[in-house]
Amino acid sequence: MTVTAELTQEQLLRGYRTMRTIREFEERLHIEIANAQIPGFVHLYAGEEAVAAGVCASLADTDWVSSTHRGHGHAIAKGCDVKGMMAEIYGRATGLCKGKGGSMHIADFRVGMLGANGIVGGGPPLVCGVGLASKVRGDGTVGVAFLGDGASNQGTFLESLNLSAIWKLPVVFVVENNGYGEATGQAYHQSVADTAKRADGFGLPGITVDGNDFFAVAEAAAEAIARARDGHGPTLLECKTTRFFGHFEGDTQTYRDLSEVTEARASRDCLVSFRARVTRAGLIDAGVLDAMDAEIRQLIDESVVEALAAPFPDASQLTTDVYIKY
């Protein structure tokens, strides 16, 4: 239990809070989408919470993350305002991006959230830039690119591995390998079983961990982030995990045996294993976690109520925040 020993009580509580908030947020969205209250495409992060929470446990507000189309978890873990996020997903004027971004483009530069990204593989080059800025300024900040196993086949990712390696950029690439690029299994879309192996060809460390285990992710990420911060260059961290929902809300998931999900929920739920571990070790009292659960449920309830009550953006907003009207 060296890991648990290294994580402070505060980090543990924050990790749990992050994971629980993501889970509640996503489970609630799943219901609200079924109620047809939410416009557009939504990709839920439930099941993968340990990755975002474990990685962000070692990041400060001044560090940056780039995210994916499945970005709610990263946004919450990086400290985006939950109510602002919910309102954004509902397309309201009170959203984090004034309702102009939506689920796939939630960003808040103030807390180092460089944006969810609708383009698979869009983030890694951007994070190289964050790392470059850090290196030129010498300010010790770190950039983390979250991407999926699907994105790990994109040229942008492979180019970014090379660029970050030759420039020794303070960045970490976190591949959330949930076994599917949209509807296509990793066994088909990728020539290696462990995406992390791809790091070998670019001369940087590649590590594979259990992405459902908060402690495993947090430990590996802490080391990779420290390595980056200390000027030793990038790391590729692969976290094997499971997507509890489909690629998008509305996905009938005919490409997978749903026992995969049932089994993962029963035996590999990061929240369940976290709770068991910290309570068994006597690190956190179950009552504290219960209280936190209730508090988060309340927060998500309020988020939905407030989002629904919020106005849609004014028509004048159509052509603001862009340099030109036409």
Partner 1 sequence: MARKLSFLLAINEAMHQEMARDESVIVLGEDIAGGAGGSAGNDEAWGGALGATQGLKTKYPNRVLDTPISESAFIGAAVGAAAAGMRPIAELMFVDFMGVCFDQIYNQAAKFRYMFGGNAVTPVVIRTMYGAGLRAASQHSQTLYPLFAHIPGLKVVIPSNPYDAKGLLIQAIRDNDPIVFFEHKALYELEGEVPEESYTIPFGEANIVREGSDVTIVAVGRMVQQSLIAAETLAAEGISVEIVDPRTISPLDEDTIYESVENTGRLVIVDEAHPRCSFASDVGALVAQNAFHALTAPIRMVTAPHSPVPFSPSLEDLFVPSPEKIAAAVRGVMNAKAGARR
Are the C-beta atoms of 225 and 144 separated by less than 8 Å?
A: yes
Is residue 60 involved in binding partner 1 (CB under 8 A)?
no
One residue of 39, 61, 110, 258 binding partner 1 per CB under 8 A = 110
Is residue 109 involved in binding partner 1 (CB under 8 A)?
yes
One residue of 30, 100, 232, 297 binding partner 1 per CB under 8 A = 100
Is residue 167 involved in binding partner 1 (CB under 8 A)?
yes
Rounded CA-CA distance 124/137 in Å is 20
One residue of 126, 216, 217, 222 binding partner 1 per CB under 8 A = 126
Is residue 170 involved in binding partner 1 (CB under 8 A)?
no
Is residue 134 involved in binding partner 1 (CB under 8 A)?
yes
Rounded CA-CA distance 266/129 in Å is 40
The sign of the dihedral angle between the CA atoms of 268, 269, 270, 274 is: negative
Q: Which C-beta is closer to partner 1: that of 119 or that of 309? A: 119
Are the C-beta atoms of 209 and 216 separated by less than 8 Å?
A: yes
**CA distances (Å), 92 to each of 30, 159, 314, in order?**
18, 37, 10
204: helix, strand or coil: coil
Rounded CA-CA distance 84/96 in Å is 5
Of the candidate spans 115-123, 184-192, 194-202, 233-241, the one that interacts with partner 1 by CB under 8 A turns out to be: 115-123
Tokens found for residue 247: 């690629």
Is residue 73 involved in binding partner 1 (CB under 8 A)?
no
- Please report, as residue ranges, which positions from 135 to 154 form the binding site for partner 1 (by CB under 8 A): 136-137, 141, 143
One residue of 166, 226, 258, 272 binding partner 1 per CB under 8 A = 166
Q: Which C-beta is closer to partner 1: that of 29 or that of 165? A: 165
**Secondary element (H or E) of residue 215:** helix 214-229
Rounded CA-CA distance 42/73 in Å is 12
Ramachandran angles phi, psi of 322, nearest 5°: -145, 145
Name the site residues for partner 1 (rule: CB under 8 A).
64, 66, 95-101, 105, 107-110, 114-115, 117-119, 122, 124-134, 136-137, 141, 143, 155-156, 159-160, 162-163, 166-167, 320-324, 326
